[in-house]
Structure 1
Amino acid sequence: MTEHSSVETPDLCGAYPRLDEGQIAKLSLHGERRSVSPGDILYREGEPIREFIVILRGKVAMVEGDGAEQRTIAVHGPGRFLGELGLLTGQAGFLTAVVREPGEVLAVPADEVRTLVAGDPALGDLILRAYLTRRTLLIGLDVGFRIIGSRYSPDARRLLEFAARNRIPHRWIDLEEDEAADALLRELRISPHDTPVVIWHGDQVLRNPTPAELAKTIGLPAPASSDAVCDVIVVGAGPAGLTAGVYAASEGLTTVVLDAVAAGGQAGTSSRIENYLGFPTGISGAELAERAVIQAGKFGARLTVPAEVSSLEPLEGHYGIIVEGECAAKAHAVIIATGARYRKLDVPHLEKFEGSGVYYAATPFELRMCRRSPVVIVGGGNSAGQAALYLARNASSVCMLVRGGDVRASMSRYLVDEIERAPSIEIRYYTEVRELLGDRTLRAVRAQNTRTGELLEIQTRALFTFIGADPHTAWLRGTLPLDDRGFVVTGQGTSPLGALLPLETEHLGVFAIGDVRSGSVKRVASAVGEGAMAVRMVHERFTATGNQQERR
């Protein structure tokens, strides 16, 4: 579509639906009608979207960039609404809305729309589905800020991982492959040695920003110290933590949710979860997380990413959570849901290839890195199976290396059946990685059949490891009891108020849920269940201690 096209963009997979007269009438009670003229800017790229805008007459184009680099992403006509996921989550907009043809629009404050979405399931579902689909389209179109750097740079990989895990639209410009990269850097008067850099909103340049600095730039909530004591702090925003956030906030508890990297946890990196109740066609971990974030925000929970918690401090009558050396939040109850982190292969020089050939998640970022190339996956569980099916879309072949002799004991049947039907996926049993080969990047994997002793060399630029996980509990050592594997112990022992609750640690009002808890079932559904249970137990503990009543 050309820059000045006024041809309305066809609806793509529900991204651009029309509101009916009844829905527009309901919205009209909360907004105002405005006349618009060609060239009017309704909101700008890089700024928060503060209004939900419905086109009543005329046409509006969604454009990225300006000047010679401006491109039109979509053109909307009467009945359609503008905006993107950032309107619901507080992020800055990634496009500019420009009036193409004169007419009239209805503008409703974003806060009013969030309230309406919560009270009208039909309208809320229509808007949410459209915004989720638009976010996916924007990611596919390379809209958003630009990250310029080398694929060999750990700092560049850190920024790319943050953007991919948080599903933030961006464009990756690789110094090793993109011919335009050098010219762009010269134009900005930046040396390749000063990369990575992030270019945002035309000419704003961030030189090797931290994820926190990047998050602040695009409008994600930043950690903020406060003397106020809230009801509940949830540490970790995987399925367990997000569920706890939704239930706590929906039941009137003042709730803060913190996560070091991104909402969704390990589940957020799953390309498709097909056995989760209520989603017969499956749902990606990222979409499930996005829905949960919006749901938690709808009830008033405050989600902050990135915010890496370094310690838990018992204070007088409550607890403090330390982020970057400062007490970022205080609460009468803490729910620990920090999950687990992928285990690493025990092979020489592994660190040398991490991010430049060795990966621990299969997201769109990794998918781009192995396009039309052979891929090796180590592991035989559900995560490995989901990754194999996802990566097979782009890779020329997928070779799974499994330590045992059968995946059926560790992988869901539906995944096994799909893998067996996939002609590009091969499973090698009784095979373990012995050596990684390559110079700056991975070139091949040397593996061995543990039964025959045969060594084989597999050519690949991408090795994905899914061999289990270790609990993310280093920040709790010395504060809470951990089992011999490092998982948090719950429900054992007594207190002056009686027996500890099933998900409660030895500190009253501190609970552990999901993968981080000793004895938990490592499944999304069980994590969700524990998130709901923990909130019920928070109420029980407040009843016993009187904390909640004292403050109200």
Structure 2
Amino acid sequence: MPTLTPTADVYSAYPLLSDDQIAILRPCGQVRPVREGEQLFRAGDPTEEFFVVLSGTVAVVEGHSEQQQLVHLHEARSFLGELGVLEGQTALLGALVSTPGEVLAVALAALRDLLSREPALGDVILRAYLLRRTILAGAGTGFRIIGSAFSPDTRRLLDFAARNRLPHRWADLEKDTEAEALLTRLGIAPEETPIVVWHEHRVLRNPSNAELAQVIGLRTETVARAVLDLVVVGAGPGGLAAAVYGTSEGLSTVVLDAVATGGQAATSSRIENYLGFPAGISGMELAECAVVQATRFGARITVPAEAAGLEQRDGANVVRLTDGSTVAANNVVVATGARYRRLPARGVERFEGLGVHYAATLWEARTCRLDTVAVVGGGNSAGQAALFLARESPAVHLLVRGEDLGRNMSRYLIDRIEQNPRIHVRLHTEVQEVTGEDRVEAVVVQDNRTREQQVLEARALFVFIGARPATSWLTGAVTLDPRGFIPTGQDVAHVAADLWKPLGRAPLALETGLPGVFAVGDVRSGSVKRVASAVGEGAMAVRLAHEHLEEVRPPAIR
């Protein structure tokens, strides 16, 4: 990988700390002399310390010792690391002293405590780390996934890495000439793929998502406490808001998600109508900021951890996971959101991961840069995707089955789409088939009024046609409405009245048919399907959880 080209973004990603900022950090760390060639940390090592270069230079490198490539050279007053430092992940890159000098080493626990007291310094570090993660992803650094594009397990690993915003690169067995050579060197037969090459030390043979997460550091240790104050199932905006407010108010909190933090919001290239961000914010940035914030307050976030059931046992609410383990808590916030709907057209399933995508972020967009693409859907997600892709794609076909964009899309998006010469809106249009050899090459569409068909050249198809609630794991545990969403408050006051009699009250505003179980965000019946409302409901659920805790906790001994 070549050295990063100095651009405005790169300079922003590698700021120099002021003398005052270094003075704030000094009491929390230890000054160490370093010699040329000394390794501060290696790729794949657990992240344990935060480093500031006081004098000399430190090279950030990728690759093993014989073939290391320079990523960035840190000079005095620069700090090392990227987003994984704040999220407790293992190091993606190594750090090697280039010229002797001194570094300031701060333990991560001390750093997190300091940043909670020094928000200005924390903002500088977080912003730089977010940019570095984006730059590393765009440069194709990180671990390697080697496998066939036609392998479901290869596509599973690629999707898991993309959804969790993990820098990686893919070597396609059918196209990448280096892939076969690397397999030969590792002594691995093609039929044994996919594999994950975790830096120079470790090869994972077709790992499960949980195994890969364990190596990267996404999974936390098993909960030791018998009954927690709060378990949040789902790490979208609503779930992460509940985690932030819960931990900041002293509740022992664990967050579980089956796929990735950020939920559907994290798949959005740009959210422009979220209060407080006049220039907009990407779904990735919003998700990562929320994860760092929740972790800083003490929440434990585990991915992947898929809920399989919910029951009440010995006065506590118990969440059963698909791996057989359980987590018990006095309160449960259900924030599992919704899962995207698949497009019912020929060829779609075959090309999922090979040009058919259900998100439009940096990871998906880099596979079709400078190509004509198509976007299906008439809502805000589809509009945001079209605008994002039009930055580099010469033409974006926005395919809408309805007769008017204004029915489901915000006016500000419609105005920008209509002003963009690269976006071609096709109303009354439905996808009939996706065609190609080894990846998407064209889309067959049909006018739903005239039945006239047309073939559109497109190297990728992005699908945003709504979602269904992720509540199958709750069947038989809580009341669901006919569409599978969760009614709350007065809508379930008549359900299981015997559960409420001992409490002497009706269900609280966001409470489900089970006392102490709350539903927030898209999964809740009647929700408005907006990031802001999900965040508000997450915060509100914590306030209601406090009320329930007062009912179930034994009175304090005075």
TM-score bin, normalised by smaller chain: over 0.9
CA distance in 1, matches of 2:369, 2:96: 36
SS class of match (1:131)? helix
SS class of match (1:482)? coil
Q: Which letter does structure 1 place at the counterpart of 2:523? A: V
Q: 1:510 to 1:302 in 2, by over 3 A?
A: same
Mapped pair 1:546 → 2:552:
yes
**Aligned residue number for residue 139 of structure 1:** 137
Q: TM-score, normalised to structure 2's length?
A: 0.94
SS class of match (2:360)? coil
- Per-residue CA deviations over 1:452-492 (Å, capped at 9, x if unaligned) read 22121223332222111100001001111100100011113
TM-fit CA distance, 1:438: 4.1
Structure 1 runs not aligned, ≥5 long: none
CA distance in 2, matches of 1:197, 1:259: 24
**Aligned residue number for residue 50 of structure 2:** 52
- Per-residue CA deviations over 1:105-160 (Å, capped at 9, x if unaligned) read 11111110100001111111111111111111211222211011122221111111
Q: Which letter does structure 2 place at the counterpart of 1:37? A: R
TM-fit CA distance, 1:368: 2.6
Q: 1:219 to 1:33 in 2, by over 3 A?
A: same
TM-fit CA distance, 1:415: 1.2
Mapped pair 1:519 → 2:526:
yes
TM-fit CA distance, 1:352: 2.5
TM-fit CA distance, 1:311: 0.8
Q: Which letter does structure 2 place at the counterpart of 1:228? A: A
TM-fit CA distance, 1:371: 2.8
TM-fit CA distance, 1:208: 0.8
CA distance in 1, matches of 2:226, 2:456: 57
CA distance in 1, matches of 2:68, 2:323: 43
CA distance in 2, matches of 1:442, 1:36: 52
SS class of match (1:399)? strand
- Contact 2:149/2:155, CA 8 A, preserved across alignment: yes
TM-fit CA distance, 1:508: 0.4
CA distance in 1, matches of 2:393, 2:233: 36
Equivalent residue for 2:404, pick from 403, 406, 415: 406
TM-fit CA distance, 1:325: 4.1
- Contact 1:377/1:400, CA 8 A, preserved across alignment: yes
SS class of match (1:352)? coil
**Aligned residue number for residue 230 of structure 2:** 232
- Contact 1:147/1:171, CA 8 A, preserved across alignment: yes
- Contact 2:163/2:260, CA 8 A, preserved across alignment: yes
CA distance in 1, matches of 2:398, 2:21: 51
TM-fit CA distance, 1:363: 2.2
TM-fit CA distance, 1:348: 4.1
Aligned residues: 549
Structure 2 runs not aligned, ≥5 long: none
**Aligned residue number for residue 504 of structure 1:** 511
Q: Which letter does structure 2 place at the counterpart of 1:363? A: T
TM-fit CA distance, 1:283: 0.8
CA distance in 1, matches of 2:461, 2:337: 23
Q: 1:476 to 1:96 in 2, by over 3 A?
A: same
**Aligned residue number for residue 300 of structure 1:** 298
**Aligned residue number for residue 244 of structure 1:** 242
**Aligned residue number for residue 475 of structure 2:** 477
Equivalent residue for 1:264, pick from 257, 262, 265: 262
In the TM superposition, what are the counterparts of 1:311-322 in structure 2 within 5 Å?
311-322=309-320
**Aligned residue number for residue 537 of structure 1:** 544
**Aligned residue number for residue 26 of structure 1:** 24
- Comparing 284-293 and 455-464, the one that deviates more: 455-464
CA distance in 1, matches of 2:169, 2:437: 27
Equivalent residue for 2:334, pick from 312, 333, 336: 336
- Per-residue CA deviations over 1:155-198 (Å, capped at 9, x if unaligned) read 11111111111111111112232221111111112122221110
- Contact 1:223/1:307, CA 8 A, preserved across alignment: no
TM-fit CA distance, 1:203: 3.9
Q: TM-score, normalised to structure 1's length?
A: 0.95
- Comparing 481-490 and 433-442, the one that deviates more: 433-442
Q: 1:25 to 1:357 in 2, by over 3 A?
A: closer
- Contact 1:212/1:222, CA 8 A, preserved across alignment: no
SS class of match (1:151)? coil
Q: 1:548 to 1:308 in 2, by over 3 A?
A: farther
Q: Which letter does structure 1 place at the counterpart of 2:553? A: N
Equivalent residue for 2:197, pick from 193, 196, 199: 199
Mapped pair 1:89 → 2:105:
no
**Aligned residue number for residue 395 of structure 1:** 393
- Contact 2:317/2:516, CA 8 A, preserved across alignment: no
SS class of match (1:388)? helix
Mapped pair 1:152 → 2:150:
yes
- Comparing 279-288 and 65-74, the one that deviates more: 65-74
SS class of match (2:126)? helix
In the TM superposition, what are the counterparts of 1:356-395 in structure 2 within 5 Å?
356-395=354-393
Q: Which letter does structure 1 place at the counterpart of 2:524? A: R
- Comparing 432-441 and 417-426, the one that deviates more: 432-441
TM-fit CA distance, 1:223: 6.2
**Aligned residue number for residue 461 of structure 2:** 463
SS class of match (1:380)? coil
SS class of match (1:252)? coil
Equivalent residue for 2:169, pick from 168, 171, 191: 171
**Aligned residue number for residue 181 of structure 1:** 179
- Contact 1:10/1:16, CA 8 A, preserved across alignment: no
SS class of match (1:237)? coil
- Contact 2:138/2:362, CA 8 A, preserved across alignment: no
TM-fit CA distance, 1:39: 0.9
**Aligned residue number for residue 448 of structure 2:** 450
- Per-residue CA deviations over 1:325-383 (Å, capped at 9, x if unaligned) read 42331100000000001112233454223222322111223213323332122111001
CA distance in 2, matches of 1:28, 1:48: 23
CA distance in 1, matches of 2:15, 2:459: 41
- Contact 1:164/1:365, CA 8 A, preserved across alignment: yes
- Contact 2:2/2:71, CA 8 A, preserved across alignment: no
- Contact 2:82/2:132, CA 8 A, preserved across alignment: yes
Equivalent residue for 2:108, pick from 110, 113, 136: 110
Q: 1:288 to 1:264 in 2, by over 3 A?
A: same
TM-fit CA distance, 1:222: 4.2
SS class of match (2:229)? strand
- Per-residue CA deviations over 1:187-220 (Å, capped at 9, x if unaligned) read 1121222211100121411111111101111122
CA distance in 1, matches of 2:454, 2:221: 49
CA distance in 1, matches of 2:8, 2:534: 40
**Aligned residue number for residue 278 of structure 2:** 280
- Contact 1:160/1:365, CA 8 A, preserved across alignment: no
- Contact 1:34/1:107, CA 8 A, preserved across alignment: yes
- Contact 1:222/1:306, CA 8 A, preserved across alignment: no
SS class of match (1:29)? helix
TM-fit CA distance, 1:401: 1.4
CA distance in 2, matches of 1:105, 1:278: 37
The alignment yields a C-alpha RMSD, in angstroms, of 2.2
TM-fit CA distance, 1:394: 3.5
